[in-house]
């Protein structure tokens, strides 16, 4: 075995300082997660309960197999926006009757569960996860439909929700809708487009237009129940396949539907795996609060892979990128991890070669980000850094094995792209609270702006206001810093969540298990032209 050694001084002052900084960030993160859990707040939660209804996460809990985990995705969606943290929708992966499923649940305590632009982004991302990994979709529905004041942002793109449901079905991926309440107008197409529909007695309201709208349109007098009640749909229209007497009954019936799907994973479960040799608790002290200070990503790899066993590839070449083979919860993975921050030509070529090797042997790739980007400067430009970075980006873009990305520290510039950033479609992307991502570091960006402004003033022969420049620099630096932080980026759905470093192995294990529901094959060719 090739067990990674550790040079981490867990009793030293650096470790203690890093750990304290990480714990402070985790406490901030907890406070933001609590906002998502609080939904629409005390008043609306009380009212919902007084109506004898379960909360969104309680519904999810009753749906899942007892004592199994739920990998919630993007709980901080809408953070930093005008909308409630969580975006009035819960999404994630959980196990129902032994089958990994993608679950979405409207949160009716937040503006009647209406969908705002962030809820839409979150729902579309959930469907993308289901399609890529062949996970059955279970929609727990109770929503006021489109958030009306923001309808211009969602009405037209929102049609993709219903398109996705039928495309999932066409791809042989089962879809189940459980309707607990309002599901009207466009929302009626969630049950309308799902393979299996369960409705709750006297609660489900599934109609294209409610009584007032019908009265306006045709003059007909009607009521909720005759237009869209569960009993009507189960006995008369046939839209409901199953009639549930109450919410727990509906969730029980959803479990029975999944039990009969005969949905099979493409790969068998690899069985129990040996844990890492080092305590994952120590991951709290690996990343320095100041990201300019480098850290050895092998200390992270040693605490997330099976038995801390890692076969490094090209360890003496392009040393600012660590590449190598390991297993994670029994699944083989190829790891690419930044060591010294900067990517040079050698690192880029090493990455391109390694990605091709992983494709040849059908091994998923794990990218651990801590990069300030590709090296700049005359020597490096003349040495072909653009060509070499392009080789890496070509390899990442055309690779066909599943990719996982975790932002540990910096993820700046094109380095974010080469390391399989969000736009490169990793199956899953998570960030540690220590991560920062932007076009470049805040200081560098503010400095560049200042140089450009100074040159522009000189070209016009105008005097340069140094005092205003200093003020502007500070302001820009602050703005870019706040826009680089993981909560901000998670709010915009640029990741699938911000995770506690100690949970990394578990989160990646759950992702790898979900990934292995769908068959995959590496690219045996089919890369673009590698510029040499």
Write out the residues near ligand COA by the rule CB under 6 A. 111-112, 114, 144-148, 182, 184-186
Least distance CB 487 / ligand COA (angstroms): 25
Question: At closest approach, how far in Å is the CB of 229 from ligand COA?
Answer: 14
Structure tokens at 528: 């673009």
Nearest distance from C-beta of residue 70 to ligand COA, angstroms: 25
CA distance linking residue 145 with residue 115, whole number of Å: 6
In whole angstroms, how close is the CB of 417 to ligand COA at the nearest point?
A: 37
**Which segments within 261-330 are labelled E, that is strand?**
311-313, 321-328
For ligand COA, give the closer residue by CB, 15 or 201.
201
Q: Which two structure tokens, joined as six digits, stand for 201?
A: 């007695």
In terms of CB distance, is 148 or 468 closer to ligand COA? 148
Q: Give the residue carrying structure tokens 């660590």.
A: 322
Check residue 279 and give left, alpha or beta (phi > 0: left; psi -120 to 50: alpha).
beta
We find the least distance from the C-beta atom of residue 60 to ligand COA, in angstroms, to be 19
Comparing CB distances to ligand COA, the nearer of 186 and 421 is 186
Q: Find, among 200, 196, 192, the residue nearest to 258 by Cα.
A: 196
Q: Which residue is nearest to ligand COA (CB)?
A: 145
Q: In the complex, what is the shortest distance from the CB of residue 145 to ligand COA, in angstroms, rounded to a whole number?
A: 3
Q: Which is nearer to ligand COA, 26 or 154 (CB)?
A: 154
Nearer to ligand COA, 145 or 373 (CB): 145
The closest of 117, 66, 64, 67 to 89, measured between CA atoms, is 117
3-class DSSP state for residue 105? strand
Rounded to whole angstroms, the Cα distance separating 307 from 302 reads 8
Kindly tell me which of 144 and 433 has the beta carbon lying closer to ligand COA.
144
Q: Residue 74 Cβ, how far from ligand COA at the closest point, in Å? A: 21
Identify the H or E element spanning 137.
strand 137-143
Distance CA 212, CA 189 (A): 20
Tokens of 285: 């002290």
CA dist., res. 199 & res. 192, Å (int): 12
Taking the least distance from each CB to ligand COA, the nearer of 26 and 193 is 193
């Amino acid at each position: 075995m090739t067990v990674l050694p550790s040079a981490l001084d867990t009793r030293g002052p650096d470790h203690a300082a890093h750990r304290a900084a990480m714990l402070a960030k985790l406490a901030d993160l907890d406070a933001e997660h609590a906002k998502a859990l609080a939904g629409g707040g005390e008043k609306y939660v009380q009212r919902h309960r007084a109506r004898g209804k379960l909360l969104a996460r309680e519904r999810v809990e009753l749906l899942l197999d007892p004592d199994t985990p739920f990998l919630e995705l993007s709980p901080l969606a809408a953070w930093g926006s005008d909308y409630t943290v969580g975006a009035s929708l819960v999404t994630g992966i959980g196990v129902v009757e032994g089958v990994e499923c993608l679950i979405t649940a409207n949160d009716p305590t937040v503006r009647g569960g209406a969908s705002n632009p962030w809820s839409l982004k979150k729902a579309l991302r959930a469907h993308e996860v289901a399609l890529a990994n062949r996970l059955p979709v279970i929609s727990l529905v109770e929503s006021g439909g489109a958030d009306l004041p923001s309808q211009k942002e969602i009405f037209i793109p929102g049609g993709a929700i219903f398109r996705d449901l039928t495309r999932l079905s066409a791809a042989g991926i089962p879809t189940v809708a459980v309707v607990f309440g309002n599901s009207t107008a466009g929302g009626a197409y969630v049950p309308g487009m799902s393979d299996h529909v369960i409705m709750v007695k006297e609660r489900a309201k599934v109609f294209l237009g409610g009584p007032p709208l019908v009265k306006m349109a045709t003059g007909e007098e009607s009521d909720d129940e005759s237009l869209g009640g569960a009993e009507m749909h189960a006995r008369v229209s046939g839209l409901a396949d199953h009639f549930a007497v109450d919410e727990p009954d509906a969730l029980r019936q959803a479990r029975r539907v999944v039990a009969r799907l005969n949905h099979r994973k493409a790969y068998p479960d690899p069985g129990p795996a040996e844990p890492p040799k080092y305590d994952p608790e120590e991951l709290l002290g690996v990343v320095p609060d100041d990201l300019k200070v480098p850290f050895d990503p092998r200390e992270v790899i040693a605490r997330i892979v099976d038995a801390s066993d890692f076969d490094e590839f090209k360890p003496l070449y392009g040393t600012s990128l660590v590449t190598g083979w390991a297993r994670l919860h029994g699944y083989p993975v190829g790891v690419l991890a930044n060591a010294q921050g900067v990517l040079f030509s050698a690192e880029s070529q090493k990455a391109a070669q390694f990605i091709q090797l992983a494709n040849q042997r059908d091994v998923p790739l794990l990218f651990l980000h801590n990069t300030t980007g590709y090296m700049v400067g005359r020597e490096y430009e003349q040495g072909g850094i653009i060509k070499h970075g392009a080789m890496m980006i070509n390899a990442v873009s055309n690779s066909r094995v599943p990719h996982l990305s975790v932002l540990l520290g910096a993820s700046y510039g094109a380095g974010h792209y080469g390391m399989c950033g969000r736009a490169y479609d990793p199956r899953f992307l998570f960030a540690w609270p220590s991560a920062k991502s932007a076009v470049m570091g805040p200081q560098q960006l503010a400095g560049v702006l200042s140089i450009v402004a100074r040159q522009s003033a000189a070209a016009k022969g105008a005097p340069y206001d140094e005092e205003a420049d200093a003020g502007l620099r500070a302001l820009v630096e602050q703005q870019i810093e706040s826009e680089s932080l993981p909560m901000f980026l998670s709010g915009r759905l640029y990741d699938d969540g911000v995770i506690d470093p100690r949970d990394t192995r578990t989160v990646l294990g759950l992702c790898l298990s979900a990934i292995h529901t769908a068959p995959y094959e590496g690219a045996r060719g089919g890369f673009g032209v590698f510029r040499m």
